[in-house]
Amino acid sequence: MAVKGSTVAFGDFGLKAMGVHWITARQIEAGRRAITRHLHRGGQVWIRIFPDKPISHKPLEVRQGGGKGPVEGWVAVVRPGRIMYEVGGVAPELARAALARAAQKFPIPTRTVAREEKLVAV
């Protein structure tokens, strides 16, 4: 379970990962586009994951040895409980619908969560 980045910190609603997977930079961008287009460029969107792990592949039919292959792409390692996107400044039903569209772009199960208001003792 993710400890870091597991609460909604910036917006009102968030998209929480419920499984473990590598999320590619292209999938992150596809999710961002789905959210912003559904919101009609209203409100605010925060992307809470960043693809900082390089993935390399050696070409097909290449013998062993000769070093590591070239970098093919970048991924973000996502664990259960990690908030991937946050949305704020829009109606709750619009935010949930936008995050549901972004959830279709990922190979893991997700859940839409709302911000937990912290009670401050005065």
88 domain residue, yes or no: yes
More confident position, 71 or 122: 71
In a domain, 7, yes or no: no
Distance between CA atoms of residues 43 and 11, nearest Å: 10
- When pLDDT is cut at 50, 70 and 90, the band that residue 109 belongs to is very high
User: Mean pLDDT over all residues of the chain?
Assistant: 92
Tell me whether residue 24 is in a domain.
yes
Domain span at residue 38 reads 13-58+70-114
Model pLDDT, residue 121: 57
In a domain, 47, yes or no: yes
Task: Summarize pLDDT for 58-69 with one digit per residue, the tens.
Answer: 989 999 888 899
Band (79; pLDDT cuts 50, 70, 90): very high
Does the pLDDT at position 122 exceed 60?
Answer: no
The pLDDT of 47-67, averaged and rounded, is 93
The number of folded domains in the chain is 1
Percent of the chain with pLDDT over 70: 95
Q: Is residue 121 part of a domain?
A: no
Over 90: is that where the pLDDT of 72 sits?
A: yes
> Poorest-confidence range of 56-60, 76-80, 95-99?
56-60
Q: Is residue 93 part of a domain?
A: yes
Sign of CA dihedral 90, 92, 93, 95: positive
The answer as to whether 110 is a domain residue is yes
Q: Is residue 109 part of a domain?
A: yes
Token duo for residue 80: 């259960």
Strands (E), the chain: 13-17, 21-24, 44-47, 53-56, 71-78, 83-88, 110-114
CATH of residue 90: 3.90.1170.10
